[in-house]
Chains A and B, each alone.
Chain A
């Protein structure tokens, strides 16, 4: 079946540090891949997505590249801000209209 594995948190970084959150997946067929972000007290929001191999999704300074050869979709940002503190979820959609989510990685950015 489909599954998503993302790095355990929490992750604590200083402002302007480089961020990487690892995500790998197992799926049949050719899934679409997503990163969602959940700010405190809010619902999940789509951050970025990629629908085929080698696509790069980007938004708000975040990037992730769909790597079929390594079945990965790692999230990166060159310089994090305090306002990026949130929980980040990797997800995949393949063969059905529901998404399979990872467990989430909590990011805290300190000034």
Chain B
């Protein structure tokens, strides 16, 4: 079975540019999560969706960050304008909605460098 698919795997961009990260969750999973991982702050939950609806975006650092899920098989995380402190690994993850505490499945991450 295909896992969570993220693109791009690696991106280097200049400060001020727009960055769009993409995610395809596992088919049939009702929950989709965006995480950010840095050395300093570890793994942080940015936002999560249930059935394409954003449920909790309290982890989104500021207005430069936005996330959408137009359908059950696609989500984007956008940073506009990007800044060097946004450099991190961004993970998308998905989970079936069988019950709370169910396993979350991660993609391989998008490694973002803003110079």
Contact = CB atoms under 8 A, between A and B. Distances in A.
Interface in A73-111: 89, 92-99, 101, 103-104
B102 A93 contact: yes
Contacts of B86: none
B108 A31 contact: no
Nearest to A46: B103
Given A31-B101, A44-B106, A92-B101, A97 B43 contact: no
A97 B91 contact: no
Contacts of A94: 100-101
Contact of A103 (B4, B42, B50): B42
Nearest to A42: B108
Which of A32, A44, A49, A101 has the largest count of B CB atoms less than 10 A from its CB?
A: A44
Main secondary structure of the interface of B (DSSP, over half): strand
Nearest to B91: A43
Given A43-B106, A45-B106, A46-B105, A97 B31 contact: yes
B23 to A, nearest CB: 12
A17 to B, nearest CB: 26
Given A43-B91, A44-B91, A96 B100 contact: yes
A104 B100 contact: no
A27 to B, nearest CB: 10
A97 B42 contact: no
Interface of A: 31-32, 34, 36, 42-46, 49, 51, 89, 92-99, 101, 103-104
Given A36-B106, A98-B33, 11 more contacts: A31-B101, A42-B108, A45-B106, A46-B103, A46-B105, A95-B100, A96-B100, A97-B48, A97-B50, A101-B43, A104-B42
9 contacts: A43-B4, A43-B91, A44-B93, A46-B104, A49-B103, A92-B101, A98-B45, A101-B43, A104-B42
